[in-house]
Amino acid sequence: MSLPLTRRSALGGVAALGLTIPVQLAATAPAQAAQPQSRRGQTSAALGFLQRAVDAYRSSGPRLVQSYQDDSGLTDIAFVYDNALAIIALLAAGDRRRARELGDGLLYAMGNDETFTDFRLRQAYHANTFTNPDGTAHFGWEFGLTGTAVGDMSWAGIALAQLTNVTGNARYGEGALRIGRWIQRNARSTSGLKGYTFGETAGLEDHKSSEHNIDVYAFFTLLYRLTREAAWQNRAAHAWAFVERVWNADDGFFWTGSDDGSTINKAAAQLPLDVQTWSWLAARKSRYARALDWARTNLASTDTPLRANSALTGNYSQSGVVFASGSLLADPTTNIGGQEWNPKPDVAAVWLEGTAQLALALSVRNAAGDADRSASLLASLAAAQDNLGRGQKFGGTENPGGLVAASSPLDTGFGFGYFPNLHVGATSWYLMALLKTNPYRFV
């Protein structure tokens, strides 16, 4: 059986193999929407949410943070991607201690794997039972026994590079270099579209993700800035060349990647948001700036209680963007990812993580009208922060101030969904957007 995860683990509609886990819905929005807090209050609340999530099972020492609320169906799973985002957001907000302790958790996982000795990271670990009795890191076997994705590795490397830049601690820099060397050794491609492959995940070895290559470009650029070794700059250019090869100049957006490493995936239902926002944040190349305009117009959505399968109630509506074109093309009578246990998708649900990404990218671009567009998206996210996910818990304790992953069940078009569960990743992007922190640049 397969468990649809995130696009960090699926490309071109192919999901990573694992164990089927039921995903539950969050509490619905109240009938009367609360008034958003001030910008300072929103920042403080989001930071408080992250800090409580990090401390949910232990308040000091190396650890990882649980990605989703307790009743999401994912228990205490800590995705590497979400932990990398949390590290960067905590650094941006000034909480170096917790950022270091999460970084120490990544280093521990790299050096204490049950099987591998090459410093790779798994897709996910357990936050509560982080270490096994023998001292090895307790990885999330539900998400594959051998899977390692280049995108996850890159984000962990970016977080460790950020830590060494802020703290001056060479341990984090060495960890980042080990990750960079693993990617270069295991994923560099000189055939087809070139660039870097998906990694070492069963069934996805030949796939190449635009998102992953953007991550590699940004990560290797940071390694170059840390080391001043020209090799990392050249390797970053190799990754970016792939991204340029999947540019759709006619319509002004980037395709999602390639399923075979040579042919661009041009599926109408798999045109993603994050490739558009991340490409700008990573490279800020004016030639591709209109990808943000494609994203903010073509992937815009508003979720209302009258929409089919909406989780919202009363007079509360949520505006923002969706995950990809497939979110807007989904059949509301079909279960997400074809799984019987999944709730049916709502074609107008809003992906809050992506909405925060777009708010930040527009703020960074700062073209005519971008400040107002970004402010509008942040206001919508502030309303979600106040109204969605109330009563949800991390480690058995209610944890307010965060963002849910999606306003209602959301079909991504890639064989998996997002749901209205409080999410460390979405909240980290929101906090970075509030603080105008580009995670691909040194904080």
Residue ranges for the chain with pLDDT beneath 70: 1-36, 145-146, 341-342, 346-347
Backbone region of residue 284 per phi and psi (left: phi > 0; alpha: psi in -120 to 50; beta: other values): left
Q: Where are the domains of the chain?
A: 39-435
Closest Cα to residue 243, out of 282, 206, 273, 205?
A: 282
Give the CA diameter of the chain.
58
194-220 confidence digits (pLDDT tens) = 999 999 988 898 999 999 999 999 999
Closest Cα to residue 150, out of 126, 179, 108, 119?
A: 179
* CATH match of 39-435 with 3.40.50.300: no
C-alpha span between 109 and 127 (Å, rounded): 12
Q: Where does residue 422 rank: exposed (0-12), middle (13-18), buried (19+ CB within 10 A)?
A: buried
Amino acid 32: pLDDT: 56
Amino acid 7: pLDDT: 39
Measured CA distances, 24 to 268, 305, 337, 351, 421 (Å): 29, 19, 15, 17, 8
270-293 confidence digits (pLDDT tens) = 999 999 999 999 999 999 999 999
Measured CA distances, 87 to 93, 105, 282, 431, 434 (Å): 10, 11, 18, 12, 16
Query: pTM for this structure?
Result: 0.94
C-alpha span between 303 and 298 (Å, rounded): 15
CB-based contact 392:70 (threshold 8 Å): yes
* Tokens 């995940």, located at residue: 201
User: What single DSSP character describes residue 148?
Assistant: E
Amino acid 34: pLDDT: 67
